[in-house]
Amino acid sequence: MRGFLVVTALALPLCAQNPITDTVKSSYGRVRQNLVETAEVMPEADYAYKLSPAQRPFGEWISHTAVLAYNSCAAMQGVAAPPTAAALHGLTSKADLVRSIRESLEYCDAAFKVMDDKKAATEVSIGDRKLYPITPMIGLVTGLNEHYGNLVGYMRTKGIVPPSSARATTKK
């Protein structure tokens, strides 16, 4: 028990060193999981499904979300988005789109891994544009949650329980 208390006491200051980025990273991790599982759970035949004629098909939401991830995570690092981001528009197959969302979020994983509160509050430049990395970090988490919310409607109308709801019901 004594060793546990010493380890816990030593860990406490470390946990508090980056409260802002740790909070954003935690939120990112949850929505990341939701989006990957969403792309995986929707049947291939429903990737062209639209809730209404004016809306994007499900698959287009996945590619749009991947582009958002690349653009935001590049901005966090103070670099231009990789060419991969632009190439995602027009993908339609489930395999390509699942791969695109996974790869875009892996790109973000690397950007989040090296981010701490000091780096998040240090101005970066992308061409003539100046910003603080915390801005695209928060914007990304907000945008990913909004996109997931849109995708939930697609899943529900197809009788699919969204991943976050499925996990919540298995915990009870």
pLDDT 10s digits, 27-82? 999 999 999 999 999 999 999 999 999 999 999 999 999 999 999 999 999 999 99
Residue appearing with tokens 């009870």: 172
Q: Which helix (H) or strand (E) holds 124?
A: strand 124-126
Three-class DSSP labels, 39-82: HHHCCHHHHHCCCCCCCCCHHHHHHHHHHHHHHHHHHHHCCCCC
Q: What is the phi-psi region of residue 50: left when phi exceeds 0, alpha when psi lies from -120 to 50, beta otherwise?
A: beta
Residue 16: band (very low, low, confident or very high) from pLDDT cuts 50, 70, 90: low
Average of per-residue pLDDT values in the chain: 91
Contacts of 20 (CB under 8 A, 6+ apart): 117, 120, 134
Whether the predicted model's global pTM rises above the 0.85 cut? yes
Cα(48)–Cα(58) distance, rounded to whole angstroms? 6
* Dihedral sign from CA coordinates of 141, 142, 145, 150: negative
User: Across residues 115-123, what is the average pLDDT?
Assistant: 97
pLDDT for the residue numbered 14:
52
